[in-house]
Amino acid sequence: MNRMSPKKEFLLAGAVFLIVALIFHWQSTPHSAHGPLPENADVSDMFFSAWVIDWDTEALLQLKRPLFNAPIFAPHRDTLAYSEHMMGLALLALPVTLVSGESLISVQVVLVISTVLTGWMVYMLIRALGGTMTGAALGGIIASLAPLRLLHAPSHPHVLVLWWIPFCLWCLHRAYETRTAKWFWFLGAGIVAQGLFSMHGLFFLLIALGCAGIIYGIGHERRMQWWSMVGGTILGALLLLIPLLAPYIRLSRDPQFTRPPTEQFAFAASLQDFFSPPTFSSAAALEHQIGPGLTPLALLLFLAGAACVTQRRQRAASMRRLLPSRLLAAYGLMGLAGLLLALGPQMHLTPHSSAALPGPLWLLGALPGFSGIRAIGRFAHLTLVSIAVMTGLLWDYGMALVRQPWRGRVTILIAALLCAEFFATAPRAFAIDPALTAPRPLDDWLARQGTSCVVAELPLDDVRTVNNESARFMYLARFHHKRLVNGYSGFFPKGYHALEQITFSEHATDALPLLAELGADILVLHPTSYPDEYRTQVLEEFRADPRVEAVTSFPDSYVFRLSREGGIECL
């Protein structure tokens, strides 16, 4: 039988992962339908991601616009750095965004591409490390389709963009195997690319390279030179990323942008979460889903046991030891590091246990920008990559215990079990009313007003729902291009949440002095976003208040001009 050429194998693997990605993401793609959103459907992050990609695209096409001074949370600066900048995603989706004019479509395309490339890169990494095609395929399926990863679709595309981690690990391995310096250039390029796509992923990648680099260096004949080359490559890549890192570093020095311990505890997972079946009950519970799934864990335990049995047989037969101990040590350390970091500053066995051990998370607290990471459970993505790679490397050891005629059937059965579990736990699509994303008559009116106008859409948030209204207002701002007092992100300016509460109260006019301080010129009141019992009262108070002047109205909103000292007439 002729062996498949590496080029054909590479293309075939990519085609297979493309088909699998389309199948899995088809069921999670939001579709158009009239009616309210399901109660547990939180689309705030999806609107936010679409807005970021749209803003990045606009900044790319108009280079004079400062990227991080995004038009939200007026008058604050560096507001894009309150969360992920997603510049790489915007570049990746640029053709789709320009052709469709719809960044929500771009988000869906990015999700598919991310799943394809994650599986593809893990496949190629396992093959480079010595794994078989079957083991590499199963590893790629685990890395790209496990619930820990797919449950973040479609809200968190930046969390799914981690294919640069296996790419960089592949470059590191090639640098070790070939002893040539060119692979360090590819490694540096991969680090820069990961920083362009995801700051979360950049932190994850640095930890992965640290774990693998240390283990590889122990077996290197010139370990100090090896470690200096790896460290120098990482440092050089970070220097190239300074324009993107600088705003995050500036914010990390501001006390109000430091995550309090209570917030880190709330988003940390427990060891029980790692072994629990995945569920998706709410957006808050999503960050506690750190397990790869029951089938991958059971499979890895079986393969590890099979490797031990096979190794003993080889020793008894005076044969060469086959177990790739250096590789398993590197990826085992990486997986353990990811799991311990995901458990937070205080590691709990169960979500409700009071007993805890101090975790290693504090070791990273001194890194610039690290304090901005809220969902620390996402470090478990390193554990997922580790499990996928070790599964691929150990696959042959498991098959050595299976009779030859049954190996193909066992392989198909295991692949089917993996896909069945992943398909059952993958997020399901929900309907979005096109009216929520279509331009409003209000947006056409705002687009005709002065470019210096600052807009506040009230209430800043309808606190009765899981969806943040300001996220949708940000998305709709793409039609009028005005700066907003509203905002939605991973961080919020000091006092913003208090202002949210005031604007949603029955005496919303109490927020007028604060809105004036923030530079608001135009107030857009949405009475239907208030409870029935006092929505009429809120509207009447605005009409009667001498500090505001009624300008115009639309079927679902009323526009007022806010008089403020030193204000510029922009209407």
* Of 205, 196, 176, 282, the residue nearest 240 (C-alpha): 196
Residue 430 confidence (pLDDT): 63
What mean pLDDT is predicted for residues 125-133?
A: 93
* Of 298, 514, 256, the residue nearest 387 (C-alpha): 298
Distance CA 67, CA 256 (A): 22
Whether residue 369 is predicted with pLDDT greater than 80 in this model: the reply is: no
Residue 384 confidence (pLDDT): 96
Rg, C-alpha atoms of the chain = 26
As a whole number, the mean pLDDT across the chain is 86
Instruction: Specify the range with the lowest mean pLDDT, choosing from 63-72, 212-221, 305-314.
Output: 305-314
Residue 323 confidence (pLDDT): 56
Residue 462 confidence (pLDDT): 66
Q: What is the DSSP string of 24-71?
A: HHHTTS-EE-SSPPPTT---HHHHHHHHHHHHHHHHHHSTTS-SSS-S
Q: What confidence tens digit (pLDDT) does each residue in 343-366 have?
A: 887 788 887 777 778 778 777 766
Instruction: Specify the range with the lowest mean pLDDT, choosing from 180-194, 417-431, 514-528.
Output: 417-431
| Residue 376: C-alpha distances to residues 333, 380, 384 (Å) | 18, 8, 15
Whether residue 160 is predicted with pLDDT greater than 50 in this model: the reply is: yes
Domain residue limits, the chain: 93-425, 434-562
Burial class (CB in 10 A: 0-12, 13-18, 19+), 416: exposed
Whether residue 121 is predicted with pLDDT greater than 80 in this model: the reply is: yes
Residue 359 confidence (pLDDT): 78
Residue 318 confidence (pLDDT): 44
Could you confirm whether domain 434-562 is CATH 3.30.450?
no
Q: What confidence tens digit (pLDDT) does each residue in 177-216 have?
A: 888 889 999 999 999 999 999 988 999 999 999 999 999 9
With cut-offs at 50, 70 and 90, classify the pLDDT of residue 30: low
Using alpha carbons only, give the angle 23, 27, 28 rounded to the nearest 5 degrees. 115
What mean pLDDT is predicted for residues 41-49?
A: 81
